[in-house]
Structure 1
Amino acid sequence: MKAVSYDRFGGPEVLHYLDLPDPTPGAGQLLIQTIAVGVNFPDIRERLGVYNKAETRVGGVQLPQVGGLAVAGTVVATGPQTSVPVGSRVVALMKKGAYAQVAVAEEPLCAVVDEDADLRVLAGFAAQAACAHLLLQASTTLRTGESLLVHGAAGGVGGLAVQIAKVLGAKPIIGTASTSERREFVRALGADAAISYDEPGWTDQVLELTSGRGVDVLIESIGGEVFEQNFDALAPFGRYLLLGSSRGPGEPFAPRRLMTKSQALIGFYLPVFYDRPELIGNALRFLTDGLKTGQITSQVDEVLPLNQAAEAHRRLEGREVRGVIVLDPTIES
């Protein structure tokens, strides 16, 4: 099979398109002929060696590696103890190995999809949608009528969190974004309001939108000074979901302050959920159903051949992609 692998950390130039032996599915595994491969920021962080730094505390990766964590395609072989028939079309997540013409996935990390499903969309959004769904239905349970604040709501995970929350009946749903254009996009996704976290007094806007109470659930991806400000926007019994810190970790946090309003601070890291594969499978099925009914919308910005994975990484790192970028192993450049 053709695959994209790297044997050292660095820029996109370390990615090599080469021939590797086809993998063999083991017990509980499916062998998937990939039709579409999602490109995600964790792929880039792995390639850079970010996860191999001691301070990230997430274990790292072993080299050489075929990277990537999301595919969609056709099942061409199965291992023992599986129930999905050969010939089924599936979307799947995996810890590694997606950047290839053939990939192995654990069956519980897959969702069977209809013959007419858009595999490029599914592969492109699978990881982001899984994160959003797991945040709202596994790390916590967002209930009908509860309020939600999503930072970075114009981004991949944030935008899907807005749409999923809408399906779940949350209200109000408040998104933050950095520009007026991106805030308009957030409202178009279904948010009841979109604000800027860089404006003085933005937490007052949140309180006004929630009748002075604050939000029940908050998804944090900014960090820095915004981390501290968020507590002014969080309701009693509120759940604060920590997804990322694009501005850095900020000042040290005293955990006992959570006691004053019986609040919870919950960390999130997708690979941990591979130990609970049924939750990822549920998330993928939710995405599949939402796309089918039109409750979840999506945009594939560009499709490139698999052998242009390095270029896909360059464009994603350069913030040149509005939706998602997908690799197609079935086409040549």
Structure 2
Amino acid sequence: MRAIQISRYGGPEVLVQEEVPDPASGNGAVAIRVSAAGVNYMDTMCTANSYLKPVELPYVPGGEVVGRTADGRRVLAMMDGGGYAELVVTSSPFVAEVPDGVDDHQAVALGVQGLSAWHLLRTCARIVPGESVVVNAAAGGVGSLLVQLAKLFGAGRVVAAASSPDKRAFAMAVGADVAVDGAAAGYRDRVVEANAGRPVDIIFDATGGAVFDAALDALAPLGRIVTYGVASHVLPAPIATAQVIERTVAVGGFWLPQVISLPGRYREPLAELFALTAAGRLRPAIGGVYPLGEARRAHEDMLGRRTRGKLVLEP
């Protein structure tokens, strides 16, 4: 079968299409003929071996696919690598049937990114109707779903932060009430102004570095900031305990594999995401569809910040 395999760590240049043996199936394993494989920022980190969990070479990236099982079921599967291929075999418990009314591209967007957005709002921030929400990197796959779900879950005002005018326009098109420049310099003033002059209740950040530090200053009392990535590759400054106590704010972190391994944290939220999408209330944004052999270009576009929404590979 064809697969994208890396034999050394590095950037997009190490992604090479190879002919490799079909994966072996065992007892309880599910074989899936892949129709769509999701591309996520964590894939670029796995390729560079800078992700939270080290990878061993040779390695086929990709943590989510949609495809058909041998008995004809259309499923979404999440696994620990191997998705950039024509065929995957997984014994993972994270396999769920995709309902009619949700196409392959939408379904793969609801895997890593859809579940992340759902859990960031419901599980981590525990949004209360009427609260204000700021979404950094709002034009990305997770960000664009956060914007939509925040509105669906009752947010009083959703502020999108993004790096360029076209990305801010995109965030407005998917449902943000207002969009601002996401740069660290002047961040607090822009966000507070966008929230009618008031500090905000919830901020979601996957950028890290100076953006996270600036975002922390924009929180209202009882506000929460949840970090789920460090796309800037710069860690935020250390947070003094006194700063959190005096301002009565909470800082949280989120890593999807930790959460969905808990009972009731995978199929149940995924069922809600599928239902909202099938009903037309949630619209996963597909930012680019690439042939499997152009995985390198997909990674280059993502790292070059030229993309919006979900990127998909098609074998």
Rounded to whole Å, the distance in 1 between the matches of 2:187 and 2:289 is 38
Map 1:1-333 to 2 at 5 A: 1-14=1-14, 15-27=16-28, 29-51=29-51, 58-76=52-70, 86-105=71-90, 108-115=93-100, 117-198=102-183, 201-208=186-193, 210=195, 213-247=198-232, 248-276=234-262, 278-329=264-315
SS in 2 for 1:169: coil
Shift of the alpha carbon at 1:235? Answer: 1.6
What do the CA deviations read for 1:73-129 (whole angstroms, capped 9, x no partner)? 1122xxxxxxxxx42211122221111222234564233222453112322453222
Query: Could you state the TM-score of these two structures normalised by the residue count of structure 1?
Result: 0.83
Give 1:307 deviation, angstroms: 3.2
Deviations 1:266-295 (A, max 9, x none): 112233235327423334333322221222
Structure 1 CA distance, aligned partners of 2:295 and 2:231? 24
Would the alpha carbon gap of residues 138 and 6 (structure 1) be closer, same or farther in structure 2, given more than 3 Å must change? Answer: same
Q: For residues 293 and 165 of structure 2, what CA distance do their matches in structure 1 show?
A: 37
> Separation in 1 of the partners of 2:299 and 2:263?
27
- Verify the 8 A CA contact 2:141 2:308 in the aligned structure 1: no
What's the secondary structure of 2:143's corresponding residue? helix
What is the SS of the residue equivalent to 1:31? strand
CA deviations on 1:162-219 (whole Å, 9 max, x unpaired) are: 0111111111111112233322222221112212244865424443555655222111
Change (3 A) 1:191 1:139: same
What TM-score results when the alignment is normalised by the length of structure 2?
Answer: 0.88
Q: CA RMSD, aligned part only? A: 2.5
Q: Kindly, what percent of the aligned residue pairs are identical?
A: 35
Amino acid at match of 1:240: I
Q: Alignment length, in residue pairs?
A: 313
SS of 1:111 mapped into structure 2: strand
Question: Which whole-Å CA distance do the structure 2 matches of 1:99 and 1:174 have between them?
Answer: 34
**Compared CA separation, residues 32 and 256, structure 1 to 2 (3 A):** farther
**Kindly tell me: are residues 109 and 219 of structure 1, through their superposed partners in 2, closer, same or farther at Cα, counting changes over 3 Å?**
same
Distance (whole Å) between structure 1 residues aligned to residue 182 and residue 251 of structure 2: 20
Secondary structure of 2:62's partner?
Answer: coil
Question: 1:290 aligns to what SS in structure 2?
Answer: helix
Work out the CA distance in 2 between the residues paired with 1:199 and 1:273.
29
Q: Counterparts of 1:149 and 1:22 in 2: how far apart (Å)?
A: 43
- Following the alignment from structure 2 to structure 1, what is the Cα–Cα distance between the partners of residues 298 and 155? 35
Q: One-letter code of the match for 1:39?
A: V
How far residue 26 of structure 1 moved from its aligned partner, in angstroms, is 4.1
Task: Determine which structure has the larger helix proportion and give its number.
Answer: 1
Distance (whole Å) between structure 2 residues aligned to residue 322 and residue 91 of structure 1: 22
For 1:286 and 1:158, how far apart are their aligned partners in 2?
18
Supply the AA of the counterpart residue of 1:18: E
